[in-house]
A and B are shown apart, each in its own frame.
Chain A
Amino acid sequence: MLFKKQLSDDWGQLMAKAQDGDSAAYQKLLAAIQPALLAFARKQIFDAQLAEDASQEIMLAIHKQRHTFDPTQPFKPWMYAIARHKCIDTIRKIQRKSDAEVGITDEIETFLTSSSNTEDEDVKKDLETALSSLNEKQQKVIHLMKLEGYTAQEVADQMDMTVSAVKVTAHRAIKHMQKSLGSK
């Protein structure tokens, strides 16, 4: 507990120096807090790449808002408040993007059902090839959502994932399949 408080105080001192323009102190601070920010982002955001992006967004926000840090107060609550705020923003962006792409997946669904509007066996074969090029998780999500007709929530419950993660996985799988089908 004392060690953590000392660490926080050290970071606070480095930030105070950075506010006065000390580049070396600032570099030391950012290098020290970066792993903590990444770990925090990973707890909030399922996708590793998105979590990494979010951790960089947090660092940028800390940079822009460094004038709001009060050196007489602990550093960590200030830092994590910014981190939480930015992670919430990132999650909202992911959800908005996923919701906007539901329409695209609905169109593709018609190619994969038995009452498909195409009777072309070659196209069906291409779709199955594209599906098999996905990784195991993506295949399972696509299979459950688009072939079995489960909702994102039901898939999330079955696969022990968050709804956002399911939608992001489905989105990426469909992008991959579109690319694969487009090259033919």
Chain B
Amino acid sequence: MKNDDLIKQLSDNLQPVKRLPSISVRTMRWLGFVIFWVALGLYLLDLRADWPDKVMDNEFIIESVLFSLAGLLSSIVAIALSVPGKTLKSIYGVLGAVSVALWVGLIIWKGFFVSMPEVREQLGFIHGLQICFTSVAGLALVPALFVLYYVRKAASCSPAAVGFFSVLAAASFATLGSRYFCDIDDHAHIFVWHFIPMMSLAIGGVLIGRSFLKW
């Protein structure tokens, strides 16, 4: 087809479109959904019995703040990169690196003192698989699907990165929420049944992004 014919065809059949809302509006909408979902999940799963004391614990507070920050930054990066013209070679790359660094820091913090025998013991802990893993996965999956569907409405030129940060954001809030229903504070347990599954899911987001976010 000649260029002039194509231009004529496209302009003759032009329909008005609804502009994509701004990054901040879309991020707030997504955060609103994920907070609602995690809150609903915690309501159904029941908060841990010691939560009034736990929320005053410094270590718990730091952990909560770091997960929230990782989730917030990943959300911003995923939604920003879903639009052509926005790349990791900008402020969003910095935000993305910080969110990944927060996760790595948290894994090292919780995993550093965990020994292999403890890991093996945890892997045999059926409660971890049946309750923690499935609950955390449930908390993460729906928000992950929501955000992937949300960013698919845009047009990402970095689908792998968007997939990764989308799922990382969902995983961050899910892991945060899991600390409010799971009363096992053992580092090995948290490492094996909360952190590692969520980080693996986020890495899987790269593959999901590559196939699901094509256009």
Contacts and interface: CB of A to CB of B under 8 A. Distances in A.
Interface of A: 18-24, 26-27, 30-31, 34, 38, 52, 55-56, 59-61, 63-71, 73, 77-78, 80-82, 84-85
Given A30-B7, A69-B19, A85-B157, 13 more contacts: A18-B14, A19-B16, A26-B10, A34-B3, A34-B7, A52-B3, A60-B6, A63-B10, A65-B215, A68-B154, A71-B19, A73-B85, A78-B85
A21 B10 contact: no
Contacts, number: 79
- The SS class assigned to the B binding surface is loop
Contacts of A60: 6, 10
Nearest to A33: B7
B85 A23 contact: no
A52 B84 CA distance: 22
Given A65-B155, A65-B215, A81 B85 contact: yes
A30 B155 contact: no
A81 B12 CA distance: 25
Contacts of A85: 84, 157
A13 to B, nearest CB: 14
Given A30-B7, A56-B6, A23 B14 contact: yes
Contacts of A30: 7, 10-11
Contacts of B215: 61, 64-65
Nearest to B214: A89
B68 to A, nearest CB: 27
A21 B18 contact: no
Interface string B144-169: 00000000001101000000000000
Interface in B2-30: 3, 6-8, 10-12, 14-20, 22
